[in-house]
Amino acid sequence: MKFCSHCGSDKIQSKVPDGDNRARFCCPDCDTIFYENPKIVTGCVVTCEDKVLLCKRAIEPRLGLWTLPAGFMENNETVQQGAARETYEEATATVTEMSLFTVYNLTHISQVYMIFRAQLDKPEASPGIESLETEFVSEADIPWDELAFPVINETLELFFADRKAGEFKVHHGEITRLADRSLRTTRY
Amino acid sequence: MKFCSHCGSDKIQSKVPDGDNRARFCCPDCDTIFYENPKIVTGCVVTCEDKVLLCKRAIEPRLGLWTLPAGFMENNETVQQGAARETYEEATATVTEMSLFTVYNLTHISQVYMIFRAQLDKPEASPGIESLETEFVSEADIPWDELAFPVINETLELFFADRKAGEFKVHHGEITRLADRSLRTTRY
């Protein structure tokens, strides 16, 4: 942030406002304080019979790798509506009933993943504009080394473990970047 | 948003970018697109024996009304850490073990409330800078007409109903502003 989006000042500075305890971008000319907060990424583990719907990414980052349909929640929608919207946008699949499955904190990039479970009666899906391919994949065929993000690996591992155990829970956890740039996954 | 925070241009316009389906603030001079997304409000229903911790607000909006300790999640923290931080900042109470209790969508103001349950062994709390008073209140003494926000009424109603039923669940719901400006609460 170089300029104040309110008054156009070029004197924006990062400082701790009075009564606050964190640095924020502040405009000394119009006194506006700019807050930055985490974003919710919402999406679905969509199943049809024993298979899970995966999408091959048509966009960066991780173009060409496989993911679950998910994306940034938008203003004026519910988390569930966002998950259904992303599932439609990325895989042209229409989900209705959804159950919360994971809440994962990606603290290093200030994202909270909220992934829901949903079922389809028929394997009806096709690539939306952000996907190259969609495919319903059985557990044995999951391309574990070609998944786009660690949180996707984690979500699918939890999903198959719960399915095997015969009970789906709501899982909480965290993926953090360590000093050596590696990622650590913690299940609460 | 009147000025581009990246290049200072005063030509910011709200339009649907190529390949998108929603209006965003766009800068025609440096091509930056500015996305706005919902914020998470995180907090706790803190109990000590049969009483719930309430805070009387020292700040607007709703100064002087009672609320649960809760506030905007910050970057680089987990939702749980945010709930514990807010509980400390507003009530100087230290909570550790937390269980997710509600996920409520306030679509008209693009907020997602994530409220956790937590317990204290001793009723140790005192007002932080954003509170005038803190108090542990039994169900019979909840000031239902002096609660700060409808989502707080809803959360406490769900809490006491679950406690009576002997089982705490994770609740999902939505509070929406209707055309006549009234609010509608929906439990999923």
pLDDT of B82 over the 90 cut: yes
Interchain pair B107, A174: CB under 8 A:
no
A77-126 residue pLDDT tens: 999 999 999 999 999 999 999 999 999 999 999 999 999 999 999 999 99
Extract long-range pairs of A135-142: CB within 8 Å, 24+ residues apart: A135/A53, A135/A54, A135/A56, A136/A48, A136/A51, A136/A52, A136/A53, A136/A54, A137/A51, A137/A52, A137/A53, A137/A54, A138/A50, A138/A51, A138/A52, A139/A50, A139/A52, A142/A52, A142/A54
Residues B103 and B43 in one domain: yes
Within 8 A of A38 by CB-CB distance, chain B residues are: 40, 73-75, 77
Residues A21 and A44 in one domain: no
**The pLDDT of residue B70:** 98
Kindly give the pairing relationship between strand A70-72 and strand A39-48. Answer: antiparallel
pLDDT of A19 over the 90 cut: no
Q: Are A67 and A131 in contact (CB under 8 A)?
A: no
pTM reported for the whole predicted model? 0.96
**Which residues in A have their CB inside 8 Å of a CB on B?**
1-8, 10, 12, 19, 22, 34-40, 72-80, 100, 103, 105, 107-108, 110, 112, 114, 129, 170, 172, 174, 188
Interchain pair A72, B35: CB under 8 A:
yes
B136-169 residue pLDDT tens: 999 999 999 999 999 999 999 999 999 999 999 9
Residues A12 and A62 in one domain: no
| Interface confidence (ipTM) of the complex | 0.96
Residues A105 and A69 in one domain: yes
Residues B4 and B68 in one domain: no
**The pLDDT of residue B87:** 98
Residues A22 and A66 in one domain: no
Residues B6 and B90 in one domain: no
Residues A43 and A26 in one domain: no
List the beta bridge partners of residue B57. Answer: B131
Residues A23 and A103 in one domain: no
State the average pLDDT over residues B41-66. 97
Distance in angstroms (rounded) separating the CA atoms of residues A2 and B148: 37
Interchain pair B5, A7: CB under 8 A:
no
Residues B135 and B109 in one domain: yes
CATH code of the domain covering residue B4: 2.20.70.10
Q: How many separate domains does chain A show?
A: 2
Domain range for A116 is 39-187
Distance in angstroms (rounded) separating the CA atoms of residues B147 and B155: 11
A26-62 residue pLDDT tens: 999 999 999 999 999 999 999 999 999 999 999 999 9
Indicate the pLDDT class of residue A140, thresholds 50, 70 and 90: very high
Distance in angstroms (rounded) separating the CA atoms of residues A87 and A67: 11
Residues B111 and B78 in one domain: yes
CATH code of the domain covering residue B67: 3.90.79.10
State the average pLDDT over residues B20-31. 96
Residues A26 and A55 in one domain: no
Q: How far does the CA of residue B152 sit from the closest CA of chain A (Å)?
A: 18
